[in-house]
Amino acid sequence: DPRIRRVYLSTNGLGLDTDWLDYLRDYPKGILTISMDGAPSDHRRLRRSPSPDVPDAYDHVVALLPQLLRTPRVVVTQTIAPATAVRGLDNFRHLLGLGFKRFNLLPGYFLPWRPQQLAALERAFQGIGDELRAAWSRGHNLYLRNLFVHAPTPFFNTGFVVDSDRTIHPSNIGLSGTLNDTRRQTQVGTLDTPPTPRALADMTAQVGPILRAQLSDHVWDSTMAVDEALTRMCRGLYRDYLAHRARKRASRPEARP
């Protein structure tokens, strides 16, 4: 379908194999997003495999590295939990050292963070930002998806969301297990009785208050602090990224007089 520009496949890597990667390499619209925590100790601590076929979550992904790095448009989502924020920069460097070039940073949303963990996250973002600036100044093509994402609700998507029961919602917050009950509040129609654009927009405006009502003050404040830290990092990177893009365009043969 020419109306579909991209299809995102998000995974923790446990279900990946060579057949999947062969398929994605030949599928021009596919973008594989694989979640990793960084160094082996943090990845194994937070991503224990439930399958006897995959005894070690980290080793499974690393064994696929040669093929992963040949697969176009692979994005690594570096998840940063409160407990690993102090090693956020080291974990980014580890993932960079594995050969990945396309990143998405995902701090732990909707979790309680202690003040010292938030301070560690700020330092990690500052360090990661410095790494990206240095790479761009050297002409290296590192990509950060966060620079191109803006949404009114942290973490969750907003838009036209169709659930498996054919109901229509303005957000995917109900897909989270702990927020499953919100689907009754966010439903604005079904595939048989779709909402008007105005009804969808009106319910979209209610997603934030609905989400806020489900969370404790501490979790909500933590989420806002985490999102603000990520936003500050991104805003501080735009000038350097755009300068990098301009240099790349100017270096192309067709741009030379």
Average pLDDT over residues 199-213: 92
Same domain assignment for residues 246 and 205: no
The answer on pLDDT for 153 being more than 70 is: yes
Q: What is the dihedral angle through the alpha carbons of 46, 51, 52, 57, rounded to the nearest 10 degrees?
A: -30
Question: Is residue 2 included in any domain, yes or no?
Answer: no
The answer on pLDDT for 127 being more than 90 is: yes
Question: Is residue 109 included in any domain, yes or no?
Answer: yes
Cα 256 to Cα 185: distance, rounded to the nearest angstrom: 57
Residues of 213-225 as b/e, b for ≥16 C-beta within 10 angstroms? ebeeeeebebbeb
Same domain assignment for residues 81 and 111: yes
**pLDDT computed for residue 76 by the predictor:** 97
14, amino acid identity = L
Domain count, the chain: 2
Lowest mean pLDDT among 76-90, 138-152, 161-175: 161-175
Same domain assignment for residues 145 and 239: yes
Counts of helices then strands in the chain (DSSP H, E):
11, 8
CATH code at 72?
A: 3.20.20.70
As a whole number, the mean pLDDT across the chain is 91
Lowest mean pLDDT among 112-126, 192-206, 231-245: 192-206
The answer on pLDDT for 223 being more than 90 is: yes
Tell me whether residue 174 is exposed, middle or buried, using C-beta atoms within 10 angstroms of its C-beta: 0 to 12, 13 to 18, 19 or more: buried
Same domain assignment for residues 118 and 225: yes
Question: Is residue 73 included in any domain, yes or no?
Answer: yes
Decide: 118 and 222 in contact? Cβ < 8 Å: yes
Question: Is residue 162 included in any domain, yes or no?
Answer: yes
| SS3 state of residue 249 | helix
Assign 255 a pLDDT band (cuts: 50, 70, 90).
low
Same domain assignment for residues 61 and 83: yes
Same domain assignment for residues 106 and 191: no
Average pLDDT over residues 220-246: 97
pLDDT per residue as tens digits for the range 41-98: 999 988 877 777 788 889 999 999 999 999 888 999 999 999 999 999 999 999 999 9
- Report field, pTM of the whole predicted structure over 0.85: yes
Decide: 146 and 105 in contact? Cβ < 8 Å: yes
**pLDDT computed for residue 257 by the predictor:** 58
Same domain assignment for residues 144 and 249: yes
The answer on pLDDT for 129 being more than 80 is: yes
Question: Is residue 1 included in any domain, yes or no?
Answer: no
Assign 1 a pLDDT band (cuts: 50, 70, 90).
low
Residues of the domain holding 187: 158-213
